Amino acid sequence: MAGPQRMKTSLDEWVAFAEALADESRAMFGAASAPVVELKPDRSFVTDLDERIERRLRERITDRYPAHGIIGEEGGDAGPARELTWVLDPVDGTAPFIAGVPVYGTLIALLADGVPVLGIIDLPVTRDRWVGATGQPTRHSAGPCATRACASLSGAILSASNPDFFGNADRPALDALRAATAWRIYGGCCMAYGLLASGRTDLAIDSSLKLWDYAPFPPIIEGAGGVITDWDGKPLALGSGPRILAAGDPQRHRDALTMVQGAMLP
């Protein structure tokens, strides 16, 4: 791709296609009956719907963009070294999905040379959708959204998907931010990052994440005015993880990153 105008034209096309994928995933949730549940070797859950949604989205991508790679939680890698690669998590928050807690959703991202340039968080029950693309303002459902200013960590609302995802080596970072912030919210899965982009929360920290768990977040958070990195302060890309830190206010991200890195010192 050469030149900003061609990149914008391509992004607009990809965003429209990604939203069509999200529409199809949402429809499959709506038509689904009680899920058939299996336990994977890593003791995480997978359902028949995870596999059916990913299989269908892969088919759509391959038909439309046969030269693009695909990486999915359930189906593995298909051409991940290609210039443009789609990343799919058909059901982010499978355990809440099984339990009927409506924070689960479908995550769709597009990487250009390993860097996320497009991201979608789609929640089928609440019908919330966040769409981010490089150089464009993030949209939440019908209109734009933005992160909020936060005067200090002591007044911040922190989210973490699940404290159980933090191993013994990572727990000091979570504990440091828990002690420094005003309030903590757990169990939000991908919804937590959409809410941060919408200015409802201030910080998000997670560990034990794979590419498909975080790939959509950088375009969404950054397009809303926030910052998201790994715990070393590096931008998220192919090969990042498993630790991520996001903030709506750039100064609070700097403060939180300093605190996290200090907590991780031996």
For residue 226, the SS3 value is: coil
DSSP 59: H
51 annotated to bind ligand: no
Partners of 116 in the beta sheet? 111
Residue 245 has φ and ψ, to the nearest 5°, of -145, 130
CA–centroid distance for 223 within its chain: 14
Q: To which residue do tokens 């030149």 refer? A: 3
The total of other beta-carbon atoms located within 10 Å of residue 225's CB is 18
- Measuring CA to CA, how many Å separate 4 from each of 7, 135, 233? 5, 10, 27
Q: Residue 69 carries which side chain, given as an amino acid letter? A: G
Show the CA angle centred on residue 148, arms to residues 170 and 202, nearest 5°: 20
63 annotated to bind ligand: no
Residue 17, C-beta contacts closer than 8 angstroms, at least 6 positions apart: 64, 65
Structure tokens at 58: 């892969």
The total of other beta-carbon atoms located within 10 Å of residue 127's CB is 9
Using alpha carbons only, how large is the chain's radius of gyration in Å? 18
Q: 222, 228 in Cβ contact below 8 A?
A: yes
213 annotated to bind ligand: yes
73 annotated to bind ligand: yes
The total of other beta-carbon atoms located within 10 Å of residue 46's CB is 19
Binding residues for Mg(2+): 73, 89, 92, 213
Binding residues: 73, 89, 92, 213
